[in-house]
């Protein structure tokens, strides 16, 4: 136990998604100094990339806008974006966190006027759109970015394009001399709320992922439906930009499989049902099939499943896909087994959406804490003062992340309050 004189009352929250934001706000509004460290140059995490989320089918702005306002109005919250925690030493009440800050090349004088983007011609892949589109090498990283300022891609910072951006900025916000920095911060407790990464499509070669342009992931489908997304909110086939007529969702793509992810992520069934609704609403003539092992829709969300079953344009097939192939027109042929009848079947589609699972962002975690066999931080982390939250701890939907983050904030406050 740290001595009274060395105890720190601050709380470090690693991750700026819905879990991290909730944890930080709950702790700060309870009177504790809180530091948010987010690897991306903006807050919001995966939620900010969604079109809608359960249970109210809200757009991201529904929850994030309120939380951003609370953050801006709370002097107890300090933000580090484009930052990564590389080391954590010490014990509850007396941790030292080492944080690496990546150069942004555009400082806090930025007003997001966009003059820098107008001045450059270089295009880079849009990570926010899962590389389905391109943006200028000076870009606003998210439509609701907090902090609301541009970022410069490092590829142009030392060249003539960077100089063009600097000369175009009327506020002297472009800093081409920016360099990586390292800071050390004393804190009393740490909450690890780093969220998740979609299971890599490249691992699903039997489904044609990466090889066939019209095989996409569920997170990519979400961006296709967003008005600010790469297609302006239109659900289109990547191969030819045409609206699909037959969409097939493949559940448990790599999940519940000892060769990939042995566990169930819990939310994928409902995510596909939600996205089937996107298709039917936007393309009422299109048909949708959902191939599943079993449907997991718990509690009140069972109603979402029941409503989808009533839609004549949505067909549920209890089946396991073995292979996906492509014909000469970029359409897709799925070979599967109907596990209800034990018959082999062929399903045709012009767009396939793979329901990939949730992988916790805990690899290389810079502290000796307990994790389960799948990489999730255990409820008892084995390190007093260190708490997991949200999907870093367990697969959750957005509402569950908020609940779990509230628990994490309470545990962090208790850890630094003990004497």
pTM for the predicted model, two decimal places: 0.94
For 353, the 3-state DSSP assignment is: strand
Maximum C-alpha span of the chain = 72
In this prediction, residue 166 carries a pLDDT of 98
* Phi, psi of 281, deg, nearest 5: -70, -45
Q: DSSP for 122-186, please give it.
A: -EEE-GGGTTSSEEESEE-SSTT-SS---EE-HHHHTSHHHHHHHHH-TTS-B-TT---EEEEEE
- Does the residue 173 lie in any domain? no
User: Among residues 238, 110, 128, 103, which one has the least CA distance to residue 181?
Assistant: 103
Q: Which two tokens stand for residue 410?
A: 């309470």
User: Among residues 95, 69, 68, 88, which one has the least CA distance to residue 11?
Assistant: 95
Q: Is the pLDDT of residue 4 over 60?
A: no
With the C-alpha atoms ordered 234, 125, 270, 351, is the resulting torsion angle positive or negative?
Answer: positive
Pair (25, 143) in one structural domain: no
Kind plus residue range of the DSSP H or E element containing 36: strand 34-38
Pair (367, 403) in one structural domain: yes
CA distance 149 to 383: 37
pLDDT single digits (tens) 242-256: 999 999 999 999 999
User: Among residues 297, 295, 302, 296, which one has the least CA distance to residue 319?
Assistant: 295
For 254, the 3-state DSSP assignment is: coil
Q: How confident is the model at residue 418 (pLDDT cuts 50, 70, 90)?
A: low
Residue 146 C-beta-side C-alpha neighbours within 13 Å: 21
Q: How confident is the model at residue 7 (pLDDT cuts 50, 70, 90)?
A: low
pLDDT single digits (tens) 36-86: 999 999 999 999 999 998 877 889 988 899 999 999 999 999 999 999 999
Q: Are 189 and 412 in contact (CB under 8 A)?
A: yes
CA distance 211 to 352: 13
Pair (406, 278) in one structural domain: no
Pair (347, 367) in one structural domain: no
- Does the residue 397 lie in any domain? yes
Last residue of a domain, one of 318, 333, 357: 357
- Does the residue 367 lie in any domain? yes
Which residues, including other chains, have CB under 8 Å from residue 323's CB and lie 6 or more apart?
206, 207, 334, 335
Pair (63, 155) in one structural domain: no
Which residues, including other chains, have CB under 8 Å from residue 273's CB and lie 6 or more apart?
290, 297, 304, 305, 308
Q: What residue numbers bound the domain in which 125 lies?
A: 115-168
CA distance 201 to 211: 10
Q: Which two tokens stand for residue 385?
A: 């003062």
Pair (261, 352) in one structural domain: yes
pLDDT single digits (tens) 107-166: 999 999 999 999 999 999 999 999 999 999 999 999 999 999 999 999 999 999 999 999
pLDDT single digits (tens) 217-249: 999 999 999 999 999 999 999 999 999 999 999
Please give the distance of CA 17 from its chain centroid, rounded to a whole number.
8
* Phi, psi of 179, deg, nearest 5: -140, 165
Pair (162, 189) in one structural domain: no
Pair (123, 90) in one structural domain: no
CA distance 321 to 336: 4
Pair (313, 208) in one structural domain: yes
Pair (220, 344) in one structural domain: yes
In this prediction, residue 3 carries a pLDDT of 47
In this prediction, residue 328 carries a pLDDT of 87
Q: Which two tokens stand for residue 232?
A: 């302006």
What's the whole-number average pLDDT of the chain? 94
Q: Is the pLDDT of residue 419 over 80?
A: no
Pair (281, 346) in one structural domain: yes
CATH number at 41 reads 3.50.50.60
- b or e along 134-143 (b: 16 or more beta carbons within 10 Å of the residue's beta carbon)? ebbbbbbbbb
pLDDT single digits (tens) 280-315: 999 999 999 999 999 988 777 888 899 999 999 999
Q: Which two tokens stand for residue 68?
A: 């951003």
What is the count of structural domains for the chain?
Answer: 3
In this prediction, residue 2 carries a pLDDT of 47
For 37, the 3-state DSSP assignment is: strand
Residue % of the chain over a pLDDT of 70 = 98
């Amino acid at each position: 136990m740290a001595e009274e004189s060395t105890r720190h009352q601050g709380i470090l929250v690693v991750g700026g998604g819905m879990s991290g934001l909730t944890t930080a706000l709950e702790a700060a509004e309870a009177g504790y100094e809180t530091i948010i460290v987010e690897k991306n140059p903006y807050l919001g995490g995966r939620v900010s990339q969604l079109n809608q989320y359960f249970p109210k089918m809200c757009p991201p702005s529904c929850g994030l806008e309120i939380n951003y306002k609370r953050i801006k109005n709370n002097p107890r919250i300090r933000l580090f974006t484009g930052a990564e925690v590389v080391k954590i030493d010490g014990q509850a009440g007396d941790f030292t966190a080492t944080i690496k800050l990546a150069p942004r090349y555009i400082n806090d004088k930025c007003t997001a006027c966009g003059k820098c983007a107008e001045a450059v011609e270089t295009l880079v892949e849009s990570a926010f759109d899962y590389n389905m589109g391109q943006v200028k090498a000076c870009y606003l990283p998210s439509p609701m970015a907090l902090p609301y300022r541009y970022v410069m891609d490092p590829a142009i910072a030392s060249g003539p394009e960077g100089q063009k951006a600097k000369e175009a900025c009327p506020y002297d916000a472009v800093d081409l001399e920016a360099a990586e920095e390292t800071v050390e911060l004393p804190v009393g407790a740490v909450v690890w709320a780093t969220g998740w990464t979609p299971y890599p499509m490249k691992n699903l070669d039997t489904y044609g992922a990466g090889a066939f342009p019209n095989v996409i992931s569920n997170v990519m489908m979400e961006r296709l439906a967003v008005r600010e997304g790469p297609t302006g909110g239109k659900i289109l086939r990547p191969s030819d930009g045409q609206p699909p007529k037959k969409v097939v969702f493949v559940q448990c793509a790599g999940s519940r499989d000892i060769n990939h992810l042995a566990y169930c992520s819990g939310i994928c069934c409902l995510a596909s049902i939600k996205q089937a609704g996107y298709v039917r609403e936007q393309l009422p003539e299109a048909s949708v099939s959902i191939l599943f092992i079993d449907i997991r829709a718990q509690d009140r969300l069972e109603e979402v499943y029941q409503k989808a079953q009533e839609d004549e344009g949505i067909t549920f097939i209890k089946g396991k896909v073995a292979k996906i192939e492509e014909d000469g027109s970029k359409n897709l042929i799925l070979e599967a087994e109907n596990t209800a009848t034990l018959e082999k079947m062929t399903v045709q589609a012009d767009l396939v959406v793979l329901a990939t699972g949730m992988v916790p962002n805990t690899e290389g975690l810079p502290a000796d804490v307990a994790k389960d066999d799948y990489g999730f931080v255990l409820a008892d982390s084995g390190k007093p003062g260190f708490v997991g939250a949200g999907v870093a701890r367990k697969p959750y939907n957005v509402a569950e992340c908020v609940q779990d983050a509230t628990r994490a904030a309470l545990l962090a406050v208790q850890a630094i309050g003990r004497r």
